[in-house]
């Protein structure tokens, strides 16, 4: 399983599935990250936290723990 945490900088990936439940999953979905959406990885901090992404023309910062719950293709 590939996750957003493992995506390379400059890569555009497609979300396949969201893992997790409850408030964590809701927070990810509230950012506009849902199944089938394309995510562009803009920047990763030196130690991997946060990961800066572009989703639906919005620039977002995502925690490494949250990025691990997003399965990509």
Q: How many folded domains does the chain comprise?
A: 1
Rounded distance, CA 48 to CA 6, Å?
A: 10
Whole-number pLDDT of residue 48: 65
Could you tell me which residues are beta bridge partners of residue 72?
A: 15
Each residue of 23-58: pLDDT tens digit? 989 999 999 999 999 999 999 998 868 999 999 999
Asked whether residue 70 carries a pLDDT value surpassing 80, the answer given is yes
Q: What range defines the domain where residue 44 resides? A: 4-72
Which CA distances in Å does 6 have to 42, 45, 51? 13, 13, 10
Residue 44 maps to which CATH number?
A: 2.30.30.90
Whole-number pLDDT of residue 49: 85
What is the average pLDDT score of the chain?
A: 94
């Amino acid at each position: 399983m590939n996750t957003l945490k493992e995506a390379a900088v400059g890569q555009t990936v497609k979300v396949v599935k969201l893992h997790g439940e409850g408030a964590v999953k809701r927070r990810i979905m509230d950012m506009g990250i849902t199944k089938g959406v394309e995510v562009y990885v803009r920047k990763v901090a030196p130690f991997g936290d946060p990961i800066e992404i572009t989703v639906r023309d919005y620039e977002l910062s995502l925690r490494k723990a949250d990025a691990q719950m997003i399965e990509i293709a």
